[in-house]
Amino acid sequence: MYSAAYHKFSSLSQVRILTQDICLSAVEEWMQDYNHLRPHEALDNLSAVQFKQRQIEQRAMNRGKKRQKIARRKTTPEISHSSQPW
* Residues facing residue 46 across a β-bridge: 40
| Nearest of 58, 16, 62, 74 to residue 50 by alpha carbon | 58
Alpha-carbon 13 to chain mean position: 36
Is residue 74's pLDDT more than 80? no
Map out the domains of the chain as residue ranges.
Answer: 11-71
pLDDT at 17 over 70: yes
Contact 20, 13 (CB under 8 A): no
pTM: 0.56
Could you tell me if 49 and 36 are in contact, meaning their C-beta atoms sit under 8 angstroms apart? yes
Alpha carbon 35 to its chain centroid, in Å, reads 8
**SS3 call for 45:** coil
Q: What is the mean pLDDT of residues 17-46?
A: 93
